[in-house]
Structure 1
Amino acid sequence: SFIYTPNAGYFGSDTFDYTLEDGQGGTDIGTVTLTVNEVVSNPDDTFIATAAAENFDGGAAGSDTVSYINSTAAVTVDLLNHTASGGFAAGDTFISIENLIGSNLAAAKDTLKGDNGSNTLHGLAGDDYLYGNDGADFMYGGDGADFMSGDGGADTMYGDAGNDTLKGRDGDDSMFGGAGSDYLEGGNGNDTLHGGDGADTLKGSAGTDTFVFHAMSEAGDTIIDFNLSSGESIDISDILSGVYDPLTDLLTDFVQIVDSGANSILSIDTTGTATSFVQLVTILNVTGLTDENAQVANGTLIV
C-alpha cells in the first residue's frame, strides 16, 4: 500500500512511479495517476425554507443565504435582531446567515433587514421593504413598487420593475432605479444615481453626487437638488458613445442646455444635426448652464 501526501493547498492531477522487485534481480516500474480534489473549507450555503420552523446555521465563514421563494405568504426577517415572522419564516432562527431572498408572491409585501455586515437582500415579486443596516449591502427589489434603505455603508441598490423608492442614507451608494417612475435619494456621501427607464425623480442630497444616463429611453427625469458648488456632475457619455467624437464634432450639435424659468433643461440630439433635440432631464432651481462646452470643461457635464 502507498500513502500519498500532497503539498499544502495543492489540488489537481498528480503522478508518481514505483518499482517492484521480485527478489531474483528482476524489476518492473509502475505509474500511479491520481486527482487531488480541492477542499472547500468555507462554502457558501443556500437554504430553501419550508413551512416548518427551522434553525439555519451557515457556519463560521462563507456568505450564506436563506430563501423564502416558496413561501405562501409574506415574510418579515431581521438578521440584526434575529427575528422572523410570517409565511415560511414563522419560528425560524438564524446563525451566521448573511443574505435573504423573499417570497415570490405578487401580492406579498416582504420585509427583509440585514445586519451590520455586508448583506444581499432580494425582494423578488411584490411591494417589498429592504433595509441594509450598516455594511456594504446589495439590494435588489425585483417586481413591484419596492422601498429600499441602504443605511450605513457603501450600498448598491437595484429597483428593477415598478415605481420604486431607493434611499442610500450614509455612505457612497450606487443606485439603479430600473424600469418605472422611481424616486432615488442618495443621502450622505458621494452617491451615483442611475434613474433608468421611466420618469424618475433624482435627489443627491449631501455630498458630491453623479447622475448617470445610459440611453434616451431614460428621458423625462428630474433632478431636484443639483449642487454646482459641491462639484456634482451629469454623465451622458453612454448616450453619446459611438455618435459623438469630441475631436471632430461640435458638442452643441448633440447637447443643448437651456434656461426654462428657474430651471435648466438638458436635451440630446443623437443625430448630431442640432435639429432633433429630445429633452432628457430637467434640473430644478439651477440656471446658467447654457454654455455646454464650459460645463464639460469644468466637469459638470461628462460626455
Structure 2
Amino acid sequence: MTKGVGGKAEINFNGTFEKTDDFITYQPHGDFIGSDSFTYQLDDSHGGTATATVNITVNPTNPAPLVLNGTPDPDTLMGAEGDDTINGDGADDLIYGEGGNDFLNGDLGNLDRIFGGIGDDTITDTDGVNEVRGDVGNDSINLILLKFGMTTLILMMPHIWTILLAVSVTIALLSA
C-alpha cells in the first residue's frame, strides 16, 4: 500500500486470518484539507493481483465558535466563520461578526461600531452614538437606550435610521 500525502491509510485485518473481513481506514493529518490518494494491491494467493487507487477529498469541518470578551479599554474584536459570541465592554469598541449566526453585544461604549457580517446575527447595543450594521441574513437588532434625555443612535441596515428616544426600544429587522 502507498501512503497518501495528506493522511495515513492502514489495512485493518480485524484480528483474524480471514481476508474477507479486512478493511482499509484513512485518517487525514492534523489540519489537512484537500485532495489525497493512496494505492493498494490485492493478492488472491494463486498468483493473481489487482491494484486500485482510492481518491479522497477532505473537506473542512465547521469552525468552532469563538467567545470573545472586550476589556474596559477600546477594543477591536473580530469573529470568524463560526457562530460566535462577542461582547464589548464599557469603551468604544469595533466589533466584526464575520460569517455564521453571531451574538454581538456592544455594551456601554459611547461610540461602538458593530458589523454583523453574513448570517442570522443577533446584535445588541446599549446607549451612546453608535453605528450598527447587519448584512446578508435575518438579523435581529436590539437597541437599549439607558440615559434620560435625548440620545441619538444611527442604525444602518441598509438604510440609515436615526432614533431620538429616551426609553428602551427593540427593533427587529429582516435584511434583504
* TM-score bracket, shorter-length normalisation: 0.5 to 0.7
**Which residue, out of 165, 168, 172, partners 2:97?**
168
Matched, 1:222 2:154: yes
Larger RCO (CA under 8 A, 6+ residues apart): 2
Change (3 A) 1:161 1:268: closer
Alignment partners' CA distance in 1, 2:146 and 2:87: 19
Change (3 A) 1:174 1:226: same
**Which residue, out of 89, 106, 114, partners 1:184?**
114
Deviations for 1:208-258, whole angstroms, at most 9, x for unmatched residues? Answer: 11110233439422112247xxxxxxxxxxxxxxxxxxxxxxxxxxxxxxx
SS at match of 2:95: strand
Change (3 A) 1:144 1:269: closer
Contact 2:141 2:173 in 1 (8 A): no
SS at match of 2:147: helix
SS at match of 2:126: coil
Task: Give 2:135's aligned residue.
Answer: 205
Task: Give 1:288's aligned residue.
Answer: none
Task: Give 2:124's aligned residue.
Answer: 194
Alignment size in residue pairs: 113
Contact 1:182 1:200 in 2 (8 A): yes
Stretches of structure 1 lacking an aligned partner (at least 5 in a row): 1-80, 82-115, 118-132, 228-262, 271-277, 282-295
Task: Give 2:73's aligned residue.
Answer: 144
Output the amino acid matched with 1:172. N
Output the amino acid matched with 1:166. I
Deviations for 1:188-226, whole angstroms, at most 9, x for unmatched residues? Answer: 101111121321100101111111023343942211224
Contact 1:195 1:221 in 2 (8 A): no
* Structure with greater proportional helix content: 1
Output the amino acid matched with 1:143. P
Identity of aligned residues (%): 24
Output the amino acid matched with 1:225. M
Change (3 A) 1:163 1:213: same
RMSD between superposed Cα atoms in Å = 3.5
Output the amino acid matched with 1:221. L
Contact 1:134 1:153 in 2 (8 A): yes
Alignment partners' CA distance in 2, 1:161 and 1:269: 20
Contact 1:186 1:204 in 2 (8 A): yes
Output the amino acid matched with 1:178. D
